[in-house]
Chain A
Amino acid sequence: MTELVCAWVRDRLPPRSRDGLDVADAARLEQHLAGCADCRAEATLVGALAVPVTVPPELESHVLRAVRKQPALANGAGGIRHYAVAASFVFALLTGSLLWQQFGARPSPATIDGAVEAVLALPVGADALLHESGLQSLSEDELRTLLEELGS
């Protein structure tokens, strides 16, 4: 029975040190600690482990600077929307090209021009899928050739 109470108490020592317990649990716990040297020793240890750590003062500004350089932030919400529109446009064109191969609907040169511009406008690294596919590393001519080949 005592062991069960000790287990109940020890399971609540971390919240006792950090955020506190509700009144009933706290009273039961403190009453037990007053008479149990073993649990008191563990309470002292857990209290020492709860000592908060302070972040070095310069770290926050350092991390925020690094975070601001990330493409999603550097481009802001507009950048993300622009990217999404451009990616959708390219996807639609590539899908359309495949459909054309099946059903004979050829994309117009104007559509290809729009797709080329859209791909070139994508922020590098903004999307892993397209980045890994190599689309963003192609030159304008290479991209135009690829799209024309898909549409021819």
Chain B
Amino acid sequence: MHEAPIDEATLIEKARAGDAGALEALVRRYMDDVYALALRILGDGDQAADATQNAMINAVKGLSRFRGDASFRTWILRIAANSAKSLGRRRTRRNEVALTLADNVAGEDADPATVATNRAEAERVTDLLRQLPPKQRMAVHLRANQGLSYAEIGEILECSEGAARVNYHLGIRRLRELTI
């Protein structure tokens, strides 16, 4: 018999009370989203991993300040965006994009043809996204890849819902121009 999954509000409450298991469950729950966003911002797997670790530590340190005004996912993604941008500003070499999204596509257990198609598609998308300004790139990723609403994207990018919508659509329009 399986245990019922613990709802997020309970996990947060327990984590804030010092429950290590609850805190680790929260970290595990958002690891993929945080890493994916960091990878889109930084374009490098190793740096995205560092940014993910920084973001998770910052989230743990700041958990007592989470008031629940936004969703926990939005809150932690905002921390992730800031951690990745901060790391990006600190990097000294500008041409070290060695590991790209193409090395991190899901479906490695699928058949070889599917894996090859996913890799090729992911590589193409990564190359295209790299040509967008940062806010458009993040808005496109958060909307198309993580399925966030414009209001949530606005909270993460620290802009209005309308600006998030415009950034997404400008980004998509630019990507379509690039693919013609």
Residue ranges of A at the interface with B (Cβ–Cβ < 8 Å): 10, 13-15, 17-19, 41-42, 45-46, 48-56, 59-60, 62-64, 66-68, 70, 72-73, 75-81
Contacts and interface: CB of A to CB of B under 8 A. Distances in A.
Given A55-B35, A63-B52, A80-B18, A49 B57 contact: no
Given A54-B108, A72-B18, A76-B20, A49 B140 contact: yes
A33 to B, nearest CB: 15
Contact of A70 (B49, B57, B105, B118): B57
Interface of B: 17-20, 23-24, 27-28, 31-32, 35-36, 39, 45, 49, 52-53, 56-57, 60-61, 63, 101, 104-106, 108, 118, 121-122, 124-125, 129, 140-141, 143-147, 169, 172, 175-176, 179
B144 A14 contact: yes
B27 A78 contact: no
Nearest to A62: B53
A51 B20 contact: no
What 8 A-B pairs are tightest by C-beta distance, nearest first? A77-B18, A49-B144, A18-B147, A53-B36, A52-B106, A80-B18, A54-B106, A55-B35
Chain B contact residues: over half helix, strand or loop, or mixed? helix
Nearest to A51: B122
B141 A49 contact: yes
Given A51-B105, A51-B106, A77-B18, A15 B140 contact: no
Contacts of A70: 57, 60-61
Given A45-B175, A63-B52, A19 B147 contact: yes
Given A48-B121, A55-B104, A62-B53, 7 more contacts: A49-B125, A53-B35, A55-B32, A56-B49, A72-B18, A73-B23, A77-B18
A96 to B, nearest CB: 26
B143 A14 contact: yes
